[in-house]
Each structure stands twice: as structure tokens, then as C-alpha cells.
């Protein structure tokens, strides 16, 4: 009992300004049981990225908000509380570098309005925009295969700006955001832009939808609808650790969207995009499920400021029923080891995108494939020249799992061939690489939110 009493007292002190009533109350066992932040959650909230755990461990490592004061250690249950905990003003929070730890309790929705009432897409639309008018104006049969322009497109862009102010949550440097059990961030984007040293853990990201997708008539052979909201965007930032999260479209899957101009109306973008010279990112033990575009590392083929950047480590992640960019890489030295892929043929495009000047090091990953997915199609050449690939196992349909040389399979059926040497060897790995056969046994049950002892 003595330990419980001490724990309750310390928790009350740590919560400080976030829970003044609790801090003022006498410590008791009953108090400890009603506090949403358990001892273990308190410990995990202050945890830094372990040494050598991927690219985010380079140099100074990644500590997030580990040194946060009691005043900047908060529990949030709404969008307004999240914005307040990040510094108070979404328009300027990206520059709030004070260390901060934010525990998310329950569901926080990006579409919550000022009085916590839910906003609709119509509430965010510019008065001059409707989808019906947009469809009528820019139908290729009327407008041609030309990029939309004019007053209606300008009204769409103003609508996007409205939504961005509402659903894009800007995160500053030296921040840890960690979910308590069952925590969900729905309909929002965590934007980590010019914000070094950020940790995001144990959160379920649900349906970061775009109310105002853009029609891009020259994207692909038949045009495409494109959304602009990722679940997490990392830009112009270093030392970011994304660990034990789940990424899903929830009850708003792409399969439920309509078709316009003969193309799917795409309201979703990436799960975790690392672009615009960002670097030193570790993504570990995440679960990506039932989504299309997952992880874009580098968004431009321009040989410029991204060169020498975009260094990312992906380990022990589960890619489950997802379609493409697992990841897609330009320029970066990207270490992909001990991940589990469960892929079926329904809409699947490719796993590893080998882009311009990319340097993928792909080791001991396990692919559980539907019988319709050819292992030779797991790689896609987006203008790259080589990757290092070894230790891959594939289990296809009901056949037993077996080692497969993915690169040889790819080269046997595609031209030009990709080379076998990415030109670097990862050194930032915390533990020895697991034998591939063990990957499904560990990653299957343990990747994703609500698996940490919190």
C-alpha cells in the first residue's frame, strides 16, 4: 500500500497545472485508480528513443518532450485541449519549442468546432464552392484534359485553406504525443514541419479525410483525384520517432467513395509521409491497415536539397491490406528490416518503390501474399538504379513460407534491371536482426497501438 500512496502523490505533483484539483486533493488509493495516466504511461511518456534505434537515434538522438515541466504535461480529450497543450494557437504552435508531453485520452476529432460540436465539410466550404458545381465545370468532356482554373478552383483552394486551419494540427519541436489506452486521433493531420525532436506513440489515426480533393487530369493516363491530408506529415524536421501507432481509414474506406470522371474520388493521402528535406526518422512497430498510399519518402525528383536527406528506418511494422508506397523512396538511405507485409490482390500496386537516387536496404522482411500477388511485382522502379535486398521470405496462398530473392525475381521479369548494392550498410540498429521466419510471430500480434504496457 505504501507504494500506491507514493505513486499517487507523485502523479498528482507531476500533473500539476493540468489537474489542479487532483494535485490539491489528499493522495489516496482511490485517487490513484481514477487518474487516467498510469504509472507505466507516465514512464512511457518520458521515454526517449533507445540508443542506436534507427536513423532517429543518430547524433543527439530523439527525446521528444522527455524533460517537460509539470505545466507542460497535459492530458487532452478534445481538439481544443490538444491545440492548447501544443502551445495555445494552432497558427503558431509549430514554433513552440518548450518541451511538452501530451497524453491523448479517448477520441480527439479534427472536425470538432470551437464549442466541440462537429463540423461538416459544408461548414468548411467557401461560399462559392460546391462539389456539384466543380464536377459540372471541370468535367473533361466540357473543360478538356486541362488543370482546373478560374473562380471555382479558387473557391476550392480557399475551402482547403479553411480545412487546413481546422484539421491540420501543427506540432512544435521537443514534443511527445502519446495515447492512453484506446486513444484515437480522427479526421486530422499531425503536421511536423520545421519541428525537430518529436515522438508520436500509441495512437490510432483514423480517416484523415480531405473535404475538397483536387482533380488532376494529367496525373496518370486517365487523371486522378488527389487529397492533401496525410495522417502524419514530417517536413523540414529531424529526429522524429513514430512508434506503436495504428493507421486506418476507419469506417470511411476508399472502397466506399464514389467515382467522378471515371476515377475514384480519393479523399485520403499518406499515412506517414517524410518530405521536403526531412531526415532522421525511425518508424517502429506501427500497424498500417486497409489503406492505399502509405509512406512517401521524398516528394520530388528534383536533384536539390533532398540529396543527403530523407534518412528513415522502418522496422517491425505491419503492412496489412495496403496498396502502395510501403515505402516509396527518393534520395534517402532507408533501412527496411523485420517488417511484416500481408498483401492481397485487391487493388494492390507495389510494396517497395525504388525512386530517383534512392538507397533502400531491405533485410529480413516477411511477405504473406494472396495467391494473385506475384513476388516479382513487390518492387517498382520509379527511376532508381539499385537496392540491397536480402533475407526475404514469402508465403504465397497456402504454400509454405520460403526464402525468395525479390530482386532476382524482379529483374527476371522487368527491364532495366536494378542493381544489387544500395551503396551503404545500416549501423543504427538497436538489436540484431530477427530471423525472417520469426517476423510474423512477433510483428503480427505486437505491432500497432494498444500493445504497449500503458
CB of 230 to Ca ion, least distance (A): 4
- β-pairing, 402-403 with 393-396? antiparallel
Smaller CB separation from Ca ion, 143 or 382: 382
Distance between CA atoms of residues 37 and 45, nearest Å: 10
Residues 6+ positions from 247 with CB-CB distance below 8 Å: 204, 205, 231, 271, 272, 286, 287, 288, 289, 291, 294
Report the run of H or E that residue 191 belongs to, with start and end. Answer: strand 189-193
Distance between CA atoms of residues 279 and 306, nearest Å: 9
Smaller CB separation from Ca ion, 87 or 213: 213
Smaller CB separation from Ca ion, 28 or 302: 302
Residues 6+ positions from 407 with CB-CB distance below 8 Å: 379, 387, 389, 418, 420
CB of 417 to Ca ion, least distance (A): 5
CB of 409 to Ca ion, least distance (A): 10
CB of 228 to Ca ion, least distance (A): 7
- β-pairing, 189-193 with 272-275? unpaired
Residues β-bridged to residue 280? none
Q: Backbone dihedral region of 33: left (phi > 0), alpha (psi from -120 to 50 degrees) or beta?
A: alpha
Smaller CB separation from Ca ion, 132 or 415: 415
- Could you give the strand order of the β-sheet that contains 272-275, starting from the edge strand earlier in sequence? 168-171, 189-193, 232-235, 272-275, 296-297, 328-329, 352-355, 379-382
- Asked if residue 361 lies in contact with residue 425, where contact means CB atoms within 8 angstroms, the answer is yes
Smaller CB separation from Ca ion, 223 or 327: 327
CB atoms within 10 A of CB 408: 12
- The angle formed by the CA atoms of residues 76, 82 and 88, to the nearest 5 degrees, is 125
Smaller CB separation from Ca ion, 300 or 425: 300
Distance between CA atoms of residues 318 and 403, nearest Å: 19
Q: Which among 335, 293, 327, 295 is positioned nearest to 311, based on CA atoms? A: 335
Binding site for Ca ion (CB under 5 A): 230, 269-270, 273, 411, 415, 417
Beta strands, E only, 223-377: 224-226, 232-235, 238-243, 246-248, 259-260, 263-264, 272-275, 279-284, 287-289, 296-297, 312-315, 318-320, 328-329, 333-337, 340-343, 352-355, 359-363, 366-369
Smaller CB separation from Ca ion, 57 or 294: 294
Report the run of H or E that residue 440 belongs to, with start and end. Answer: helix 439-446
Distance between CA atoms of residues 395 and 403, nearest Å: 9
Q: How far, rounded to the nearest angstrom, does the alpha carbon of residue 296 sit from its chain's CA centroid?
A: 10
Q: Is 77 a catalytic residue?
A: no
The catalytic position among 184, 209, 287, 325 is 325
CB of 227 to Ca ion, least distance (A): 8
CB of 170 to Ca ion, least distance (A): 16
CB of 274 to Ca ion, least distance (A): 10
Smaller CB separation from Ca ion, 45 or 332: 332
- Asked if residue 80 lies in contact with residue 110, where contact means CB atoms within 8 angstroms, the answer is no
CB of 258 to Ca ion, least distance (A): 22
Task: List, by residue number, the catalytic residues.
Answer: 325
Amino acid at each position: 500500500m505504501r507504494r500506491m500512496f507514493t505513486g499517487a502523490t507523485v502523479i498528482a505533483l507531476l500533473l500539476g497545472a493540468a489537474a489542479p484539483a487532483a494535485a490539491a486533493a489528499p493522495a489516496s488509493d482511490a485517487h490513484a485508480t481514477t487518474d487516467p495516466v498510469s504509472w507505466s504511461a507516465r514512464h512511457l511518456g518520458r521515454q526517449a528513443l533507445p540508443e542506436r534505434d534507427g536513423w532517429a537515434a543518430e547524433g543527439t538522438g530523439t527525446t521528444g518532450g522527455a524533460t517537460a515541466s509539470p505545466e507542460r504535461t497535459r492530458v487532452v480529450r478534445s481538439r481544443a485541449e490538444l491545440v492548447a497543450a501544443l502551445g495555445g494557437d494552432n497558427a503558431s504552435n509549430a514554433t513552440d519549442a518548450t518541451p511538452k508531453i501530451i497524453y491523448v485520452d479517448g477520441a480527439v476529432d479534427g472536425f470538432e468546432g470551437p464549442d466541440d460540436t462537429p463540423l461538416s465539410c459544408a461548414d468548411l466550404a467557401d461560399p462559392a464552392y460546391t462539389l456539384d458545381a466543380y464536377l459540372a465545370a471541370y468535367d473533361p468532356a466540357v473543360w478538356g484534359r486541362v488543370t482546373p482554373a478560374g473562380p471555382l478552383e479558387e473557391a476550392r483552394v480557399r475551402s482547403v485553406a479553411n480545412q487546413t486551419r481546422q484539421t491540420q494540427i501543427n506540432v512544435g519541436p521537443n514534443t511527445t504525443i502519446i495515447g492512453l489506452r484506446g486513444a484515437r486521433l480522427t479526421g486530422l493531420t499531425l503536421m511536423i514541419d520545421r519541428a525537430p525532436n518529436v515522438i508520436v506513440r500509441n495512437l490510432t489515426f483514423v480517416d484523415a479525410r480531405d473535404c475538397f480533393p483536387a482533380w488532376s487530369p494529367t496525373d496518370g493516363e486517365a487523371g486522378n483525384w488527389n487529397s492533401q491530408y496525410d495522417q502524419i506529415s514530417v517536413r523540414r524536421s529531424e529526429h522524429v520517432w513514430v512508434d506503436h501507432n495504428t493507421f486506418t481509414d476507419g469506417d470511411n474506406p476508399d472502397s466506399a467513395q464514389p467515382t467522378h470522371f471515371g476515377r475514384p474520388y480519393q479523399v485520403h493521402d499518406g499515412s506517414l509521409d517524410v518530405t521536403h528535406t526531412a531526415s532522421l526518422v525511425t518508424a517502429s512497430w506501427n500497424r498500417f491497415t486497409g489503406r492505399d498510399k502509405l509512406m512517401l519518402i521524398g516528394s520530388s525528383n528534383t536533384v536539390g536539397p533532398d540529396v543527403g536527406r530523407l534518412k528513415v528506418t522502418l522496422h517491425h511494422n505491419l503492412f496489412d491490406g495496403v496498396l502502395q508506397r510501403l515505402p516509396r523512396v527518393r534520395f534517402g538511405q532507408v533501412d527496411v528490416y523485420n517488417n511484416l507485409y500481408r498483401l492481397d490482390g485487391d487493388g494492390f500496386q507495389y510494396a517497395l518503390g525504388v525512386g530517383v537516387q534512392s538507397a533502400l536496404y531491405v533485410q529480413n522482411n516477411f511477405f504473406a501474399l494472396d495467391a494473385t500477388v506475384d513476388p516479382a511485382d513487390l518492387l517498382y522502379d520509379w527511376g532508381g538504379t539499385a537496392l540491397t535486398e536480402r533475407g526475404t521470405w514469402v508465403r504465397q496462398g497456402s504454400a509454405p513460407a520460403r526464402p525468395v530473392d525479390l530482386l532476382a525475381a524482379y529483374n527476371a521479369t522487368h527491364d532495366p534491371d536494378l542493381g544489387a548494392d544500395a551503396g551503404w550498410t545500416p549501423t543504427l540498429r538497436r538489436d540484431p536482426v530477427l530471423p525472417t521466419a520469426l517476423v510474423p510471430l512477433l510483428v503480427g500480434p505486437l505491432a500497432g497501438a494498444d500493445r504497449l504496457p500503458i
